[in-house]
Amino acid sequence: MAIRQHIHLHDGPGGPFESTAVYDSAAGVQPGILLFPNFLGTKEWDFDKAEELAKLGYKVLVVDYYGKGKRGTDMESGGKLMGELTADRAKMRDRLTGALAELRKLPGVDPARLGAIGFCLGGKCVLDLARSGADIKAGIVFHGVYDPPPFPNAKMIAKLLVCHGWNDPLCPPEATIGLGKELTASGVDWQLIAYGHTGHAFTANDMPLDADKTFGFQPDTNRRSWLAMQNFLQETLG
């Protein structure tokens, strides 16, 4: 196994963008996965996750959805970038579909076996990519944000797995139920796993869990959700 990481520059609305490709260069044709980061944008944490996926047999593109040189360093700067991105959901959608086109260009990616995973804001990206009718087989959301865009969805194709912390203040029960109703009405194949005593950012091993268990790393949920993802990817992408 010879996992390599390299910068993948590409254009798009608001670009240029500086995404990062991570894959086993010695492997043959493999499924391709988009990895959408949390609201801070691409960072070493995401590259480590991409390497884990590459070891499982996937070619990964860690998506820069903000633009080259634009990254959050704390809650304030990340929140500002996130607000700018999500203020125009149509433009955001176009960036996401543009990233999918870039994934198809990576050497050895099987265009018939594509998926996406995302964390926090990245989970919203996965949902919006699926809502666009993108031709992906699988979408996995980790502690995402569920509000739909202010325009109708296209016909959804992707099968979806949503890994949700029940105590997440960004997605209270009414938001979670709303997502379930939306996905049911779409006719798409979806499943949602809600983890108790778990809040937002439960995969963020650099973020201690708060006293109310509404925000921060939850090791049991992190482990269980990653296993759920592996099973789901095996079922949908092989």
Question: Which amino acid makes up residue 73?
Answer: T
Helix axes 121-131, 75-86, angle to 10 degrees: 10
What is the token pair recorded at 204?
A: 């963020």
175-224: pLDDT as tens digits: 999 999 999 999 999 999 999 999 999 999 999 999 999 999 999 999 99
Question: Any idea what the CATH number is for the domain that residue 225 is in?
Answer: 3.40.50.1820
Instruction: Say what the pLDDT of residue 1 is.
Output: 82
Residue 138: which domain range? Answer: 3-236
Structural domains counted in the chain = 1
> What distances in angstroms separate CA 168 from CA 41, 95, 227, one per listed residue?
21, 27, 21
Answer whether 61's CB lies under 8 Å from 95's CB.
no
Q: Which of 96, 137, 141, 140 is closest to 114 using CA atoms?
A: 137
152-183: pLDDT as tens digits: 999 999 999 999 999 999 999 999 999 999 99
**For residues 12 and 160, what is the distance between their CA atoms, to the nearest angstrom?**
26
Q: Is 95 helix (H, G, I), strand (E, B) or coil?
A: helix
43-60: pLDDT as tens digits: 999 999 999 999 999 999
- Torsion angle in degrees (nearest 10) through CA of 175, 85, 5, 34: 40
Mean of all residue pLDDT scores within the chain = 97
